[in-house]
Amino acid sequence: MMNKMIKNPILRGFNPDPCILRVEETYYIVVSSFEWLPGVRVYQSQDLAHWEHCTDIITNQVDLRGNPKNSSIWAPQLSYHDNLFYLLYTDVKSTKRPFKDAHNYLITAETIEGPWSEPVYLNSSGFDPSLFHDDDGRKWLLNALWDYRIVEGNKSSGIVMQEYDSQQQRLVGEPIKLFDCTPLKKTEAPHIYKRNGYYYLITAEGGTGTGHAVTVARSKHLLGPYEVDPQNPMLTSRENPELTLQCAGHGSLTETPDGEWYMAHLCTRPLEGEYAILGRETALQQVYWNEEGWLRLTAGGNTPQLEVPAPKGIFMDVQERSSLFEDCFDGPELKKTWNSLRILVNDSWCSLTKRPGFLRLKAGESIQSLFEHHILAIRQSDMHFRAETALEYQPNSYLQMAGLLLYLNEDNYLYAYLSHEEGQGKVLRMMRCEADSFTLASHAISLEYDLPIHLAVEVNETQGQFYYHIGDESVWEPLCESQNISFLSGGFTGNFVGIAAHDMQQFQGSYADFTHFRYQGNDDITTQN
């Protein structure tokens, strides 16, 4: 019987910058969350093939209000030592060139579910912090070093390292420049692994786009000098635009109990060769150490594979790909899959008790607010899906709105919403913002006040069609024409599907009652490069 093949990506949709770790028999992957809370999503697996969302770590440790898009929580690193989990992350406050305000923090917990300690501030010299626990008990912080003086291109100038004193909970000594960039440049995402007398430095290079790559270097001494793999890059898609998995890079390693090695890494699956609407995802490659002590793909070469062998003893033939998510709002709390934007969900704007059996969303600021945007959304994890909801809403001004939306960021979204127009009363309309260019559908559909409105959206790759029906009617009507949604790609995140309520008057305190939300994906995972 042949071992099972693991199908990539293992974490579909917006799941970038993976860091993989094994603790006893359980594997964990943590990923970046950027503006979305709760942050640092954690997935767990017993076999590397089947993954489930188990928890999210970042909650009230951060204040993300006002942070610009593509900032906030970057590249977490998870390690485990002396019966303690260590999580490092960056809170990016500004990326306006040539500078970068990126603050690095450390928190700890005895279990992955927490409770987690108060954040310890580390430094702000760069991003992608990583903690290495050496055999002698010393701990070392690594991070990418940002140099605003670099005139052209990315300003990551290499990797810097400094000792961390866990008793004093601060960095000690002086920072040491550990590694300069290779000709690929844009060096970031450092991880150190010790094996057979060598310190191996795994980094990402080439930027997070099509030039992304994994660079490996090694040294007999922690402080270097480090020798770069003569066949660098170890993993990349940069010369192969025909591959399904693009942008391969940002890798980290784990070893199975039987001595097999795997690398988790970032990737994208762009549609039409260009539009990564699902954002940056997580894939897994099986790797090994060759006779010279360098890391290699078991498949040969250096390009990411869509299928890789599962660890020894895993013989299941079918890898389940369930992407059904449903919340009927009839429980004591929201399901953990939901995310909010820059602020945490709380009873002040999101209640399951004020009208039992419904989710009451108190309207927040505008859809482009960086502060009080009252939105609940989930990751788009399929290239083909349908999402549905229904709501009751009584707006009395065009400044009040609620509905169903596709949302990449405050500059790129599609919104099917209920509002109020002078002379028409309650209406259903569509708004679109593409690359910060706003358009409003000219036609507004008049609605009855006392009936719930059902909204749906169907997405087929780069096309999205919104639908509606009123009350108990069973026939869905299209809302406007089909929309090209290729603009819901780019940046560091991926497209989200969600519900929201907005009120630019605020003092009136409007709200919408949602009856349910359902998302059903129907992708067939491609199995050939």
What distance in Å separates the CA atoms of residue 485 and residue 337, rounded to the nearest whole number? 23
Whether 188 is catalytic: yes
Q: Which residue has the tokens 């009208």?
A: 355
Name 282's Cβ contacts closer than 8 Å, sequence gap at least 6: 9, 10, 11, 15, 16, 18, 29, 31, 264, 265, 266, 267
According to DSSP, the β-strands at 384-393 and 375-379 are unpaired
The burial of 394, by beta-carbon neighbours within 10 Å (0-12 exposed, 13-18 middle, 19 or more buried), is given as middle
Catalytic residue among 17, 128, 372, 392: 17
Contacts of 292 (CB under 8 A, 6+ apart): none
Contact between residue 216 and residue 204 where contact means Cβ atoms under 8 Å apart: no
Beta-carbon count within 10 A of 88 CB: 25
Rounded to a whole number of angstroms, the distance between the first and last alpha carbons of the chain is: 24
Pair 186, 156: CB distance under 8 Å: yes
- Whole-number Å distance between alpha carbons of 367 and 349: 15
Going by C-alpha positions, the residue among 303, 284, 337 that lies closest to residue 47 is 284
How far is it, in rounded angstroms, from Cα 283 to Cα 16? 10
Q: Which of 128, 188, 281, 410 is catalytic?
A: 188
Check if the beta carbon of residue 310 is closer than 8 Å to that of residue 4.
Answer: yes
At 186, list the tokens: 């844009």
Separation CA 231–CA 211 (nearest Å): 16
CA distance 300 to 355: 59
Handedness of CA 275, 368, 124, 33 (dihedral sign): negative
Count how many Cα atoms sit within 13 Å of the Cα of residue 52 in the half-sphere of its side chain: 7
Q: Which of 76, 383, 97 is nearest to 250 (CA)?
A: 76
Q: Report strand pairing: 425-434 vs 412-421.
A: antiparallel
Tokens 């359902």 found at: 518
> How far is Cα 268 from Cα 278, in angstroms, rounded to an integer?
8
Enzyme catalytic residues: 17, 188
